[in-house]
Homo-oligomer: A and B are copies of this chain.
């Protein structure tokens, strides 16, 4: 090449330009929103986060660490068939599987919450004693949504079908059917409304492998209005960051950040929140460079 590559912008998320081989943490987007019951738009989450990470520094003054040092690889976005959840889940499972098999940590950017099932299926194959930690506004425990068993409103129920009793730990939940709340209390580990009780995980999951799924509608809509089903009365960004700080000490084998629907918030503030959250989360997850 007779031109200077350095004159061009880097298209990866905020300094995550490490090659796949050298990386320890691997980012990929799952731009699917076919199962969104109220408002679609989460399909634009990964690409808009990548683009708007341009406005974010790679350095975190709170953690005093830099994402450019964190050996994260950004693979880009999966090509997923709109409106066909089973096929989309297969692709998410396949790439998660590859990353896990290579001994790396998969980090998925959604996309609607239904995609989490694919990543959990892959993680469960490698870690049969997997526990699932759900930070979310909604129970997502319906048996089906208007007959659809793969809806984002049913994703935790499908995970329950795989994991069984007492292995889903839910925090921040503030919306659902009465039956879903009852199911969550009898078959899972429900901590409604706040994140205060995440520290209980030290006892309940201890050193077991965990997958952490973050549905961004957990945050109050004043902080993140750009999501398909905004649910007023949520947690603050500081509360979520504090919880992630705690969670980073567990044995994490996979994680995701779902349900940013960026164009529903034309101000871009929602995307900025999601980007900053992902930077801090990646810095907490990535090992110190040598």
Contacts and interface: CB of A to CB of B under 8 A. Distances in A.
Contacts of A173: 61
A9 B78 contact: yes
Interface of A: 1-4, 7-9, 11, 20-21, 28, 31, 33-41, 43, 47, 51, 54-57, 59, 61-62, 64, 66, 75-85, 87, 91, 94-95, 98-99, 101-102, 114, 145-148, 150-152, 173-178, 181, 192-193, 220-223, 225-226, 228-233, 237-238, 264-270, 272-273, 276-277
B233 A36 contact: no
- Please give me the 5 A-B residue pairs with the lowest Cβ-Cβ distance, nearest first: A35-B83, A34-B83, A3-B98, A225-B267, A225-B269
A10 to B, nearest CB: 8
B1 A21 contact: yes
A39 B146 contact: no
Contacts of A232: 223, 237, 269, 272-273, 276-277
Contacts of A61: 173-176, 181, 192-193
A7 B37 CA distance: 16
Contacts of A36: 82-83
Say whether chain A's binding surface is mostly helix, strand, loop, or mixed. loop
Copies of this protein chain in the complex? 6
Contacts of A62: 174, 193
A114 to B, nearest CB: 7
A146 to B, nearest CB: 4
Nearest to A26: B3
A220 B219 CA distance: 14
Counting chain B CB atoms within 10 Å of each CB, the highest count among A9, A80, A91 belongs to A9
Nearest to A226: B267
